[in-house]
Structure 1
Amino acid sequence: MSDKHHNPQPHQSPVHDDREAKPGLDALAPEDQNWRPTPHPTAPGEEPTAPGSMKAPDTRSEKLDALEKQRKGGED
């Protein structure tokens, strides 16, 4: 067997211009870019967070309460 490919095609490098986001999710998102997280750490409650995340500790549900032991790694 040969190491040569029968249909050699060069690997294309990623583009770094406005074509990069087409037709990705950036094209469907609002223009104000508020949906993107900030590049720096923020205080709790400053940005929207997922339920049960460390930045939203007051968010509770039965499912999260049932998983609390696993989330803490078994530490009490």
Structure 2
Amino acid sequence: MIGDKIYRDKYTGNFGGTRVFIGTADPDPHVPVQRVLDTEKVLKEMGAEVNVRVYPGMGHTITQKEIGDAVNVGVWG
């Protein structure tokens, strides 16, 4: 969730168990890990099944490892 802060009242609805994968880096110059964790909390409150992966030193990019984790059914176990 982007912006200066998360405005919880702007997010309504129910994901009904929809799986959400969020990959992020530590550090990421554009998205702090804490924002990802706060986003995870909101999505879970809205009924999503959330899997967050933090990749040390990855930077603001997407790697093959992250793609593999996102599509691998095992990440949900």
Same-fold status (TM-score > 0.5): no
Higher helix share: 2
Larger radius of gyration: 1
Higher relative contact order (Cα pairs below 8 Å, separated by 6+ residues): 2
Give the structure-2-normalised TM-score: 0.21
